Structure 1
């Protein structure tokens, strides 16, 4: 197997993994009410949906700029690690 082919396959898998995380975070941000975001003392629903939605769109548009993709991935991971548990905790009680 050619080294460049293997590298291309790995980069493609990383791209799809980043895209899946971003899409999951965006869809999950749409499921909670705006009141839940305020009760959890987080940014508003509109803000998070905008950040994550732009992130999903830019994942397709800005494929060649890895730094932008990294920032978008960090935004999705912050949502999943901080905001999502806080919102889910409101509904478990």
Structure 2
């Protein structure tokens, strides 16, 4: 029984660490400026950067951070479900 308690505690710690690591990576990725890109049908003004309305460009670090955060949150939800489920 002591081993199961250690495994459960370790799984909670790992899931929390994965969630926290992903969140930190996502924040760092969102804080990093995105290099300019664009498409145009005419020669744009050189001093002006235009993004289409409603668009959001994410860096690869932000995308990976968001994905890792989602994986960590899914692991925490799974562990919470196992903890709160009635035993048979």
Give the TM-score taking structure 1 as reference length.
0.47
Q: Which has the higher helix share?
A: 1
Give the TM-score taking structure 2 as reference length.
0.49
- Bigger radius of gyration: 2
